[in-house]
Amino acid sequence: MLDKNELQAIKKCQSGNTESFGILYDKYIKKIYDFVYYKTMHKETAEDLVSDIFIKALDKINSFDAQKGSFNSWIYRIARNTVIDHYRTQKKDKNIDDVWDLSSNEDIAVDVDVRAQMEKVQEHLSKLKAEQRDIVVMRLWQGMSHKEIADVLEKNESAVKVAYSRLISQM
């Protein structure tokens, strides 16, 4: 469900007032960055992709239709597709280990406990297929509902629920 400010910002953007996009940017930047970071595990790559995602969202804002789904699902779908396209253009299937970079965050490098926990999470996530990893990240880190995840992945909500339950029981 769109809140009033979000819907107004979208309508203004669709009628040519791109300054209103700042409201949407402010609301979604952290969520989208976290989502992309968990998919790439690389700070600079995530920052670059997030920039691309918001540029694409602004360029395609006229294609958004509130009757077809939430803005949240729409922008996450753009984010997911942008990450997929990024790896396709790399012409190699990067493993999560290949892009893991703890050195970019000094706090993690210093805190041994946090680093151990992050390595454990990385190990579990690296064993999952990309779509499975998306489901776990969107549900646990992004706090998205099964319905929102289903919209992003263009899947049936019950299929997402079952997949999530199985993934959690395997962990």
Dump pLDDT digits (tens) for 58-69: 999 999 999 988
Domain boundaries, the chain: 1-94
pLDDT at 92 over 50: yes
pLDDT at 97 over 50: no
Asked whether the whole model's pTM tops 0.85, one would answer no
User: 24 with 72: CB under 8 angstroms?
Assistant: no
User: 20 with 13: CB under 8 angstroms?
Assistant: yes
d(CA 56, CA 58): 5
Six-digit token pair at 114? 């946090």
Dump pLDDT digits (tens) for 42-56: 899 999 999 999 999
Dump pLDDT digits (tens) for 15-24: 999 999 999 9
Correct CATH for 1-94 of 3.40.1030.10, 3.40.50.300, 1.10.1740.10, 3.30.43.10:
1.10.1740.10
